[in-house]
Amino acid sequence: MATQDVEMKEQQPTLSNSASSAVHSVLHHLKDIGSLIETGAYSREVRRIVKAVRLTMALRKKLKASTLFAFLNFALAPGSEAHARLSSFLPKEEEQDMEVDTATSAAQPPVKHTVPELEIYCYLVVTIYLIDQKKYSEAKSCSSASIARLKTLNRRTVDVLASKLYYYYSLSYELTGDLADIRGDLLALHRIATLRHDELGQETILNLLLRNYLHYNLYDQAEKLRSKAPRFEAHSNQQFCRYLFYLGKIRTIQLEYTDAKESLLQAARKAPMAALGFRVQCNKWAVIVRLLLGEIPERTVFMQKGMEKALRPYFELTNAVRIGDLELFRAVAEKFSTTFSEDRTNNLIVRLRHNVIRTGLRNISIAYSRISLADVAKKLRLDSENPIADAESIVAKAIRDGAIDATLDHTNGHMVSKETGDIYSTNEPQLAFNSRISFCLNMHNEAVRALRFPPNSHKEKESAEKRRERQQQEQELAKHIAEEDDDDF
């Protein structure tokens, strides 16, 4: 037992040393990111700040309070207002972590930076940490303070950091259930971003406003805002995907299913592979829209990697619509009612009932050249008081809409189907071929527009040529001086 106690005591310093090394490593990375932001601010290179934000997302899971304390001491003046405010949001860690923090601060004296970009970055890192620790009230206060500070800054190098803070500002209020409280502030921020020509900020805040309206089912107001907002080229692929998703939802509610389908499929296709939850939501709405259009999605849509379980309710719903079985459709809707209500697709599924009836009627018209309306009502499982009259009105509407090619014999109470002709003698193959060509051409044009080139590449080429000429001149001058020295000697 004594030997085991000795062994346990010997292991404790090893664990503390490993924790200390991990803290030092994260702090070292944060300092490098801070230096990168400072360099980008002085040289006005936005790409450096974009890289800094990307590196921060990789360190997100490793952030601790002690590390953030040390970084605040490094980035901000200890007596400044920003340092005091941000330190108050961070919880006090254990004594061991505080000792590591103190040792780190003592090993390297704090460097006082006055760059506004670095101060905004400190707000961003602390807000992200508070949200990850589920301290939503503190995150809400911290993000609100950061937005108040952002309103006083008009620098294009802050725009990237500001767009991230706008997102977490809205997220913190959404997590606390107070999303409606910031709608006026978001509208004011959008106006400020428009006046400052901050297109990335406009893009982000517009998506946040659309999300705010759609969260409370205010689709008309969302469409009015979207239609009146200024148009510009997308600067962020993630924001463009979100915009397409919200646009698809608005178009779906407004019964513009063709445009909604195109927007939702494009959002799912452009979304990053890591954004699995977003792609799942896009596919859920796209499946519903395609069913409302009378299309049946392929089985491969529901078998995508990581989406099988989430899309299972929609797969069974699609199967019920494909068969045209109204009873099976009711059973699936009741079985997954909780899932559909969470996805906010209940109203759309109610609309699908008419499509199920139409699909079943189309299958009946293909299978029978003549069938009585009583048998039609029986096969469609209509449970109304007068199923024959309902079946007659359903058949008449389907014939008028062109869903089936048949006629009604009102005297005998029959539906008479017409003979199906050769589809290749019509224009449908040509239209399908034309739609595929248009899809490929649009994809090619979008890929060309998405090509990015390094900024001022022509200037860098010119500077390289001038540098080469200067080096040649220096070499010739040095050679000439050497020859003169030889002659003197």
Whole-number pLDDT of residue 271: 86
11 has a pLDDT exceeding 50: no
Please give the distance of CA 283 from its chain centroid, rounded to a whole number. 13
Name the residue with higher pLDDT: 48 or 473: 48
Q: Of all residues in the chain, what percent are helix, strand and coil, respectively (each to 5)? A: 75, 0, 20
User: What does the pLDDT look like over 156-200, one tens digit per residue?
Assistant: 888 888 888 999 989 988 888 888 888 888 899 889 888 888 888
Assess whether pLDDT exceeds 80 at residue 388: no
Residue 382 sits in a domain of what CATH number? 1.10.10
In whole angstroms, give the CA distance from residue 389 to residue 393: 6
State yes or no: pLDDT of 263 exceeds 70: yes
Other CB atoms within a 10 A radius of the CB of residue 277 amount to 12
Final residue belonging to a domain, choices 359, 387, 421: 421
* CA pair distance 209, 439, nearest whole angstrom: 30
Name the percent of the chain lying above pLDDT 90: 6
Query: What DSSP line would sit under 355-415, residue for residue?
Result: HHHHHHHHHHHHH-SEEEHHHHHHHHT--SSSHHHHHHHHHHHHHHHTSS-EEEETTTTEE
- Residue 360 above 60 pLDDT? yes
Q: Higher-confidence residue: 480 or 47?
A: 47
How confident is the model over 131-140, as a mean pLDDT?
A: 86
**Alpha carbon distance 87, 126 (integer Å):** 9
pLDDT at 269 over 70: yes
DSSP letter for 293, please.
T
194 or 17, greater pLDDT: 194
Say how many CA atoms lie within 13 Å of 320 toward its Cβ: 25
The per-residue pLDDT for 245 is 92
Instruction: Indicate whether 362 belongs to any domain.
Output: no
Q: Is residue 253 part of a domain?
A: no
Integer Cα distance of 292 and 353 in angstroms: 10
Provide the pLDDT for residue 210: 92
| Residue 339 reports pLDDT greater than 80 | yes
Residue 202 lies in a domain: no
Regarding predicted confidence, which is higher, 366 or 73? Answer: 73
Q: What is the mean pLDDT of the chain?
A: 78
The answer to whether position 53 is within a domain reads: yes
- Would residue 185 count as lying in a domain? no
Least confidently predicted of 146-155, 240-249, 299-308, 384-393 = 384-393
More confident residue, 97 or 71: 71
Question: From the DSSP assignment, how many helices (H) and strands (E) are in the chain?
Answer: 23, 3
Q: Which residues pair with 415 in a beta bridge?
A: 371, 408
Which residues 6+ apart lie within 8 Å of 345 measured at CB?
Answer: 284, 285, 288
Collapse the DSSP code of 18 into the 3-class scheme (helix H, G, I; strand E, B; otherwise coil) and give the result: helix
Instruction: Calculate mean pLDDT across residues 214-230.
Output: 88
pLDDT band for position 130 (50/70/90)? confident
The model's pTM is 0.74
Q: Residue 381: inside a domain, yes or no?
A: yes
* Distance spanning both ends of the chain, measured CA to CA: 87
Domain of residue 127, residue span: 26-91+114-178
For residue 417, the cross-strand partners are 406
| 3-state SS string for 162-207 | HHHHHHHHHHHHHHCCCHHHHHHHHHHHHHHHHHCCCHHHHHHHHH
**Span 455-471, pLDDT tens digits:** 555 555 556 677 677 77
- Give the residue, 339 or 488, on which the prediction is more confident: 339
DSSP annotation of 416 reads E
Instruction: Let me know if residue 45 belongs to a domain.
Output: yes
pLDDT reported for residue 437: 92
The residue among 392, 421, 450 that closes a domain is 421
pLDDT at 246: 92
Position 453 confidence tier, pLDDT thresholds 50, 70, 90: low
Pick 175 or 9 by higher pLDDT: 175
Is residue 76 included in any domain, yes or no? yes
Residue 108 scores a pLDDT above 50: no
Task: Tell me: pLDDT of 110 over 70.
Answer: no
Domain count, the chain: 2
Q: Are 241 and 271 spatial neighbours (Cβ–Cβ below 8 Å)? A: yes
CA gap 407, 370 in Å, rounded: 10
Q: What is the pLDDT of residue 182?
A: 86
61: tokens are: 């899971």
Last residue of a domain, one of 178, 201, 233: 178
